[in-house]
Chain A
Amino acid sequence: MATVINRPIAMPPVQHPDPSPMDDADLLGVRIGEPFRVPFLKRFGVDTQLGTLWLGTWGVLSVMLFLAGVGVQILGGLTLVNGDLGAYAHYLFNIQLLPPDGLGPAKSLAEGGFWQINTALFAGSVLCWAGRCYERLMRYHWRPYLFFAYLSAILLSATIWVFRPLLMGTWAEAPAMGLNGDLDWAQNFSVLWGNLYYNPWHMLAIFFLFGSTMLWGMHGATILATSAEGSHHEVAEIKDMHSGSHKSMLFWRWVMGFNANPKTIHDWIWWFSVGVVVSSAIGIITTGTFVNDWYVWGVDHGIVAQYGDMTRDAVNQRPVPLDITVNMSMPRP
Chain B
Amino acid sequence: MLEFEAVYRKPGNTLFRHLLGTDPFDWWAGRYYVGLWGVVSMLFTLIGVAVLFTAVGQYGDWDLWRANVHAPLREYGLGFSPFLDGGAWEVVVICATGAFVSWLLREVDICRKLEMGYHVPLMFGFAISAWVTLQIIRPLWMGCWCEGFDLSFTGHLTWVSNTGFRYQNFYLNPFHALGVTGFFLTAMVLAMHGSAILGTYNTSKNPVQEEANVDNFWRDYIGYSIGEYGIHWLGFWLAIFTLVVSDLCILTSGTIFYDWVEFWQFQHLPAFWLH
A and B from one complex = yes
* Contact yes or no, A239 B242, CB < 8 A: no
Whether a CB of chain A sits under 8 angstroms from the CB of B76 is no
Knowing A139-B220, A220-B233, A266-B197, the reply to whether A212 touches B190 (Cβ < 8 A) is: yes
Tell me the B63-116 residues at the A interface (CB within 8 Å): 63, 65-66, 68, 106-107, 110-111, 113-116
Please encode chain A, from 218 to 236, with 1 for each CB lying within 8 Å of some chain B CB and 0 for all others: 1111111111100011111
**Complex Cα–Cα for A1 and B158 (A):** 52
Counted as pairs of residues, one from A and one from B, with CB atoms less than 8 Å apart, the total is 320
**Complex Cα–Cα for A94 and B124 (A):** 38
Whether a CB of chain A sits under 8 angstroms from the CB of B43 is no
**Complex Cα–Cα for A210 and B110 (A):** 25
Q: Which residues of B contact A246 (CB under 8 A)?
A: 2, 4, 8
Give which listed residue, A145, A203, A212, contacts B198 with CB less than 8 A. A145
Knowing A1-B4, A187-B169, A219-B232, the reply to whether A50 touches B123 (Cβ < 8 A) is: no
Distance from A55 Cβ to chain B, minimum over Cβ atoms (Å): 9
User: Number of contacting residues on B, CB 8 A?
Assistant: 109
Knowing A17-B220, A132-B221, the reply to whether A236 touches B211 (Cβ < 8 A) is: yes
Whether a CB of chain A sits under 8 angstroms from the CB of B182 is yes
Whether a CB of chain B sits under 8 angstroms from the CB of A10 is yes
Whether a CB of chain B sits under 8 angstroms from the CB of A286 is no
**Complex Cα–Cα for A247 and B190 (A):** 22
Please encode chain A, from 276 to 296, with 1 for each CB lying within 8 Å of some chain B CB and 0 for all others: 110000000000000000000
Knowing A254-B110, A266-B197, A330-B258, the reply to whether A225 touches B116 (Cβ < 8 A) is: yes
Residue of A nearest to B273 (CB): A86
Q: Which residues of A contact B22 (CB under 8 A)?
A: none
Whether a CB of chain B sits under 8 angstroms from the CB of A217 is yes
Whether a CB of chain A sits under 8 angstroms from the CB of B172 is yes
Knowing A149-B191, A198-B154, the reply to whether A214 touches B127 (Cβ < 8 A) is: yes
Residue of A nearest to B8 (CB): A250
A-contacting residues of B (Cβ < 8 Å)? 2-5, 7-8, 28, 30-33, 61, 63, 65-66, 68, 106-107, 110-111, 113-120, 122-124, 126-127, 142, 153-154, 157-158, 160-161, 165-167, 169, 171-172, 177, 182-184, 186-203, 207-217, 219-230, 232-240, 242-243, 254, 258-259, 267, 271, 273-274
